[in-house]
Chain A
Amino acid sequence: MLEIKDLHVRVEGRDILKGIDLTIDPGQVHAIMGPNGAGKSTLSNILSGREGYEVVKGSVLYKGQDLLALEPDERAAAGIFLAFQYPVEIPGVGAMTFLKTALNAIRTRRGEGELDAMQFLKFVREKARALNIDDEMLKRAVNVGFSGGEKKRFEILQMAVLEPDFTILDEIDSGLDIDALRIVAEGVNALRTPQRAMLVITHYQRLLDYITPDFVHVLADGRIVRSGGKELALELEEKGYGEFIKGRAA
């Protein structure tokens, strides 16, 4: 589904990603763990098409097509979804209007018809309930006045509504207490199917107790320094990142 080859990315003249190779097949969940500043968010941004990143070398294929050539909205239509580490506040745009506009934009591009107001309301209410999001929250402007946890749950609601094929979760666990984490993880797991894939970025292995990955990669200083199964997360938890970074330097 996703094939990253020797990806080098520069931000404001600094090399941030220094040769990433990663292949993700349908049905798989990959976790990327790493210290702050390793380049995790850079990777998720480059996959979702944010401006300001220079690809110096390498390629990314998504469902066989050149992902890097697509506009962010084309990527969304092709089924890519990024749950932001820092969701953006948009004053004046109601959460419901936003969800409806996004869903209908994607449905239209996929050649499915738009949902009418009633169908949409029913559809969203159901998903929102599962994530413990009340109507009151959806009456507010996008992310405006949301608590940290509300922002993360709203990201997952968007994911649940848009039903992407490939999801990137960038530190979805940061700022969540254990109950919220469980709810969010359930929301994510509900979307796991043999056709869909996910890239779960996290700093802590705790999230991976709830969203079980098939593979774990350690990203440090712009490179994947180690890959393994889910037991690698536990090892990391025990030893800390220092070990891996040192190991690479030695």
Chain B
Amino acid sequence: MGAQQSRQQQLLAGWSLADAAALQQKLPGSEHDALLQVRKRALAAVTGRPWPDRKSEYWRYTSLQALSSGRYRPVEAGEGPMVQEALLADSWRLVVVNGRLRRDLSTLPREKGIDILSLSDLAGAAPEDAAALLGDWPEQFDDGFFAAFNAAFAADGLLVTLADGCRAERPLEVVFLSSGDGAVIFPRLHVRLGRGSALRLIERHEGAGRYWSDGVASFDLDGNARLEHVRVLCDDEDAVNIATAALHIGADACYDGFLLSLGGMMTHQQYKADLLGEGGECRLNGAYLGHGRQHHDCISDITHDVPATRSHQVFKGVLDDRAHGVFQGRIVVRPGAQQTDGHQLNKTLLLSDRAEIDTKPELEIYADDVKCSHGATAGELDKDALFYLRSRGLADGQARALLINAFIADALNEIGDEDLRDALNALVARALNRQRAGGE
């Protein structure tokens, strides 16, 4: 009773509602009433209710204890860590430090049809539009708790728009850099692809310190648009990355996404996808590597709203030490959504007795002419294969690495774009090397 009450008075441990309201007043754009009202509405959505806990469908396998009781505060803009090298040499690059776009560190696209706006730009020019963008948070997971939390305090955000027919030549790399012990950071990324446009997007999360990143992203694909999107989590090993993404996929459009979870103490990634037009396709694949006490959690919820849409998911993970993985994939086929093709596969390699994977597929099918499948496996390295390799001269570590790489490569091969695939392969190889060096 007492705890419940104090929870209502305090949004974060030791941080009162009055503190929260005061911060909202100071945020960029709050001088516009439309924006301030949205922020207040968002704040109201997360107050007066407990945090999600293990009773929530989405947090069954993941504890939020460390966050709800730890000392965390939203940050004012601070200095970020060093900017990392670009993943792809020829990419346009947007650098976001602690949630705010830093033009001085960015190389903005100079291609006709690509428009980059920050939320604070938008607030100045069209506060109503900014308010609409901020106020449109996905309510799918826990009534949108963490998405609303972001909307309440996000100081800035990115809006990437491609005009109809614009096919971006170079990839766009968005680097979210976070820092600060106990800092809560609110990245926001909105991508809107006009009819028949195409973009290759790399989203990277890196940082230093015991921060908590609470992100929101949306991807709206108009008819025939194509988005290749790799999301790479390389956060600090003491950091938490929770994110909610909403995908709206139009007719004959294709979202081709890949989630690579490498860093962070805890990552919890929620994707809500709606296939809204016939011929639409959602590819959501991923790989996770965990060691120490890392926790990687991926939740997907894909709805086939109309006939003749496809979804495809392959998630593969390698977990060592006491790492914990979670994969929850839900596929919903709405009544009338005939000729749906929905496939989901989750495979995990457990390198230690204490590593753990929880996988929960869920199919809800309300149409009869559909092809849907799911599968999940978890196992150890094949001992016979290990011996075979060692009998050919490969040292134990080398043989293991080869088998682990082969296992993960299977997921990475889902990435259609060769440049992106190569870049991610290199990241994975480096992470596995580090993991091995650390483990021995």
**Which residues of A does B touch, CB under 8 Å?**
48-51, 71-73, 75-77, 81-82, 84, 87-93, 97-98, 101-103, 105-106, 109, 141-142, 158, 162
Which of B138-146, B245-253, B361-369, B386-394 sits within the interface?
Answer: B386-394
Contact check, A90 vs B393: say whether CB atoms are below 8 A apart. Answer: no
Chain B hits for A84, CB < 8 A? 388
B377: Cβ under 8 A from any A Cβ = no
Contact check, B409 vs A92: say whether CB atoms are below 8 A apart. Answer: yes
The proximity string for B residues 400-412 relative to A, scoring 1 for CB distances below 8 Å and 0 otherwise, is 0011011101100
B110: Cβ under 8 A from any A Cβ = no
B44: Cβ under 8 A from any A Cβ = no
Chain A hits for B403, CB < 8 A? 90, 92-93
Contact check, A102 vs B393: say whether CB atoms are below 8 A apart. Answer: yes
Whether A109 contacts B393 in the complex (CB less than 8 A), given A92-B406, A101-B398, comes out as yes
Contact check, A50 vs B387: say whether CB atoms are below 8 A apart. Answer: yes
Contact check, A87 vs B395: say whether CB atoms are below 8 A apart. Answer: no
Nearest A residue to B407, CB-CB: A92
Question: Closest 4 interchain pairs by CB?
Answer: A92-B406, A102-B392, A76-B393, A106-B393
How far in angstroms is the closest Cβ of chain B from A75? 8
Complex CA–CA separation, A158 to B392 (angstroms): 8
Whether A90 contacts B390 in the complex (CB less than 8 A), given A51-B383, A73-B396, A101-B402, comes out as no
How far in angstroms is the closest Cβ of chain A from B401? 10
Complex CA–CA separation, A20 to B111 (angstroms): 77
Q: Is the interface of B mostly helix, strand, loop or mixed?
A: helix
Whether A90 contacts B389 in the complex (CB less than 8 A), given A101-B402, A105-B398, comes out as yes
Contact check, A90 vs B388: say whether CB atoms are below 8 A apart. Answer: yes
Most buried by A among B391, B403, B405, B410: B391
14 pairs, A vs B, C-beta closer than 8 Å: A71-B390, A72-B390, A73-B391, A76-B391, A76-B393, A81-B391, A82-B391, A88-B382, A91-B410, A92-B406, A98-B389, A101-B402, A105-B395, A141-B406
Contact residues, B104-129 vs A (CB, 8 A): none
Chain B hits for A106, CB < 8 A? 392-393
B385: Cβ under 8 A from any A Cβ = yes
Complex CA–CA separation, A51 to B381 (angstroms): 15
How far in angstroms is the closest Cβ of chain A from B417? 20
Contact check, B402 vs A72: say whether CB atoms are below 8 A apart. Answer: no
Contact check, B388 vs A87: say whether CB atoms are below 8 A apart. Answer: yes
Nearest B residue to A88, CB-CB: B388
Chain B hits for A49, CB < 8 A? 387, 390-391
State which of A51, A81, A91, A101 has its C-beta within 8 Å of the C-beta of B394: A101
B418: Cβ under 8 A from any A Cβ = no
Chain A hits for B353, CB < 8 A? none
Contact check, A73 vs B395: say whether CB atoms are below 8 A apart. Answer: yes
B384: Cβ under 8 A from any A Cβ = yes
**Which residues of B does A touch, CB under 8 Å?**
382-385, 387-396, 398-399, 402-403, 405-407, 409-410
How far in angstroms is the closest Cβ of chain A from B388? 4
Nearest B residue to A143, CB-CB: B388
Nearest B residue to A45, CB-CB: B387
Complex CA–CA separation, A82 to B391 (angstroms): 7
Contact check, A76 vs B388: say whether CB atoms are below 8 A apart. Answer: no
How far in angstroms is the closest Cβ of chain B from A136? 20
Chain A hits for B396, CB < 8 A? 71, 73
Nearest B residue to A105, CB-CB: B393
Contact check, B393 vs A77: say whether CB atoms are below 8 A apart. Answer: yes
State which of A48, A87, A93, A162 has its C-beta within 8 Å of the C-beta of B402: A93
Complex CA–CA separation, A11 to B393 (angstroms): 25
How far in angstroms is the closest Cβ of chain A from B10? 50
Complex CA–CA separation, A108 to B333 (angstroms): 56
Nearest A residue to B413, CB-CB: A92
Complex CA–CA separation, A224 to B70 (angstroms): 71
Complex CA–CA separation, A93 to B407 (angstroms): 9
Contact check, A93 vs B406: say whether CB atoms are below 8 A apart. Answer: yes
Contact check, B387 vs A72: say whether CB atoms are below 8 A apart. Answer: yes
Complex CA–CA separation, A84 to B389 (angstroms): 12
Contact check, B392 vs A162: say whether CB atoms are below 8 A apart. Answer: yes
Chain B hits for A88, CB < 8 A? 382, 384-385, 387-388
Nearest A residue to B392, CB-CB: A102
Complex CA–CA separation, A50 to B388 (angstroms): 9
How far in angstroms is the closest Cβ of chain B from A178? 28
Given contacts A73-B392, A88-B384, A109-B393, 15 further A-B contacts (CB under 8 A): A76-B393, A81-B391, A88-B382, A89-B385, A90-B389, A90-B403, A91-B406, A92-B403, A93-B406, A98-B389, A98-B392, A98-B402, A101-B398, A102-B394, A105-B395
Complex CA–CA separation, A7 to B123 (angstroms): 83
Most buried by A among B389, B403, B405, B407: B389
Chain A hits for B394, CB < 8 A? 73, 101-102, 105
How far in angstroms is the closest Cβ of chain B from A106? 4
Chain A hits for B395, CB < 8 A? 73, 105
Chain A hits for B384, CB < 8 A? 88
Complex CA–CA separation, A50 to B387 (angstroms): 7
Complex CA–CA separation, A93 to B385 (angstroms): 11
State which of A89, A97, A162 has its C-beta within 8 Å of the C-beta of B393: A162
Complex CA–CA separation, A141 to B382 (angstroms): 15
How far in angstroms is the closest Cβ of chain A from B321? 23
Chain A hits for B410, CB < 8 A? 91-92
How far in angstroms is the closest Cβ of chain B from A174? 18
